[in-house]
Structure 1
Amino acid sequence: MSELRLVVFDVDGTLIDSEHNIIAAMTEAWAHMDLGVPEPADVRRIIGLSLVEACQVLLPWAPGNLHRAVAESYKQAFRALRLLPEREEPLFPGVREALDELEAAGWLLGLATGKSQRGVQSMLDSHDLHGRFINIQTADDNPGKPDPTMLRRASAETGIDLARMVMIGDTAYDMQMAKSAKVAGLGVSWGYHGLQELHDAGAVQVVDSFDTLTDIAAALIGDIPCA
C-alpha cells in the first residue's frame, strides 16, 4: 500500500462561503425563465450537486430542456455576479492555515466539487490557491455527487489507495460519495446540511472548525489512534 495520503475537499460550503451568490444567481435564472422565485432554503439544499441535476431537483415537473436552459441562465447570472466587488466568496475561517498544516504533515490535497472547471479556476484565482491541489475533479468531467466516480478517479490519477484518502465536505452528497467509494468521510458543521444529515449519510466524524483537521484526518485512515 502506498504511504502517500490524499485529503479531498469539497468547495462550496466547505472551503468558501458562496451561498449568497448561488441563491442570487438561481433567483435571477428563474426570473429570466419566468419561473417565479425559488425558495432560498430549497436552493441551499441543492448546493453541491452538479448544475443540471440541481435544476432537476428544484424543478422536478419540468422537462429536460428546461433544466438545461435554467442551468445555462444560472451560469450567465453567476459569472456576472462574481464580477461585483460586494459579491466576494470568502474562505471560511482557518482554511489557509489548515491547508498549510496538512501539507506540512505530508498530505497531498485535492478537490471534488459540483463546480465547473471554470468556476474552480475562478476560486483559485480569487484566493491565490493555484498549485495547492494536485488533483481536481469537477462536474465537467464526472457524474455528479453522490456518485463515487470523482473519488475513484482521484485515486486512479494519483496512485493513492482509497483507504489512504479522506473526503471533507459539508453535505450529505459528499458523505454518500465517500461512503460509496469506501473513503473516510469527514463532515464540517458550518456548511449547508445539518449535523444529523451528515452522520446519516455516512460521515465518520463531523468537525466544528479546521483547528484539529490534520490529526483527525490521520486518525480516520489509521495513522494515529482515534481519540
Structure 2
Amino acid sequence: MNKLALFDCDGTLVDSQANICAAVEEAFALHGVAIPERAAIRRIVGLSLVEAMRGLLPAAGDAQHRAMAEDYKLAFQRMRATGALADEPLFEGMIAALDAIEADGWVLGVATGKSDRGLAHVLDLHGIRQRFVTLQTADRHPSKPHPSMIALAMAEAGATPETTVMIGDTSYDMLMGRNAGTRALGVAWGYHPAAELIACGAHAVAERVADLPGLMRG
C-alpha cells in the first residue's frame, strides 16, 4: 500500500485569504446584508460554499445560502477575468517540504473546499499540479468534515487509513481525518489556531513548514 500525504489547499499549501474574503464580501453586498468581519470569513475557509454561507449567515434560508454561493463563484470569476485576483502564494518553504516528503516515499494528494477550476488554477500557477496523484474538491463531495474526499483519495492513491495523513489548517480538516480513520496533522500558519486543531483531533501541529517532513515520520 502507498503512503498518502493528503493536503488541504487554502491556508495549508497557499495563502489565499485575500481573494476568498473579497469574494465573500461582494456576495454579501449583492444581497444587501451586513458584510462579516474578515476574521469570521477566515473561520469558514475550507467548507463547501453553501455550508460556508450558512455558517456566516445562519438566519437566512437554504435558497439564499445557495444564491450567495453562486454569487461568490461569479465574483471569483470576475476577479480572474479582470486580473483583479490577488496573489495566492505558496507558504514559504513549501516546495522544499514537498520534496522531502516525496523523498520519504509518500505520494501526494489534495482535499479542498475549492472547486475543480479553482484548485487547477492555483496548482498550475505554481507549477505543482503534476505532483499530486489525487485531487478531491467540493465539486464532487459533501462538505468537510465528511470523510468522502479522503475515502476517494485513498482509493485513487492505493492507500489505506493506516497509511494516510490528512494535513490541514482548520478544525474541519482534523475532524475529516478523524472521521476517515487517518492520522490528522495540523499546521499553525493557516486560519484556525493550533489549540483548536488539537481539540478537534490533530495528532500533532507543525509550527513551521520545515517541520512537516519530520512530523510525517512520527
TM-score computed with the length of structure 1 as normaliser: 0.92
Q: Which range moves more in the overlay, 159-168 or 81-90?
A: 81-90
Q: Name the amino acid aligned to 1:70.
A: M
Q: Name the amino acid aligned to 1:187.
A: G
Which residue number in structure 1 is paired with residue 86 of structure 2? 87
Give distance in 1, aligned partners of 2:17 and 2:84.
16
Identical positions, percent: 49
Which residue number in structure 2 is paired with residue 59 of structure 1? 57
Give distance in 1, aligned partners of 2:47 and 2:149.
13
Give distance in 1, aligned partners of 2:53 and 2:84.
27
Q: Give the gaps of 5 or more residues in structure 2.
A: none
Shift of 1:86: 6.4
Moved over 3 A (4+): none
Which residue number in structure 1 is paired with residue 72 of structure 2? 74
Q: Which range moves more in the overlay, 138-147 or 99-108?
A: 99-108
Residues 91 and 209, structure 2, Cα contact 8 Å, conserved in 1: no
Give distance in 2, aligned partners of 1:69 and 1:29.
9
Give distance in 2, aligned partners of 1:114 and 1:66.
20
Give distance in 2, aligned partners of 1:159 and 1:127.
26
1:212 is paired with a residue whose SS is helix
Which residue number in structure 2 is paired with residue 187 of structure 1? 186
Give distance in 1, aligned partners of 2:127 and 2:84.
17
Which residue number in structure 2 is paired with residue 217 of structure 1? 216
Residues 166 and 184, structure 2, Cα contact 8 Å, conserved in 1: yes
Which residue number in structure 2 is paired with residue 222 of structure 1? none
1:107 maps to 2:83: no
Give distance in 1, aligned partners of 2:72 and 2:211.
36
Give distance in 1, aligned partners of 2:194 and 2:104.
28
Which residue number in structure 1 is paired with residue 44 of structure 2? 46
Q: What is the Cα-based RMSD across aligned positions, in Å?
A: 1.2
1:134 is paired with a residue whose SS is strand
Which residue number in structure 1 is paired with residue 34 of structure 2? 36
Q: 1:87 to 1:147 in 2, by over 3 A?
A: same
Residues 107 and 157, structure 2, Cα contact 8 Å, conserved in 1: no
Give distance in 2, aligned partners of 1:187 and 1:208.
9
Q: Name the amino acid aligned to 2:24.
A: M
Which residue number in structure 1 is paired with residue 124 of structure 2? 125
Provide Cα deviations, 1:4-34, integer angstroms capped at 9, x if missing partner.
Answer: 2110000000011011111111001111111
Give distance in 1, aligned partners of 2:60 and 2:138.
22
Q: Name the amino acid aligned to 1:216.
A: L
Provide Cα deviations, 1:94-137, integer angstroms capped at 9, x if missing partner.
Answer: 11111111112221000000001011111112111121100011
Give distance in 1, aligned partners of 2:24 and 2:84.
19
Shift of 1:51: 0.5
Which residue number in structure 2 is paired with residue 175 of structure 1? 174
Paired residue total: 217
Give distance in 1, aligned partners of 2:21 and 2:215.
32
TM-score computed with the length of structure 2 as normaliser: 0.96
Provide Cα deviations, 1:74-94, integer angstroms capped at 9, x if missing partner.
Answer: 111122234536611111111
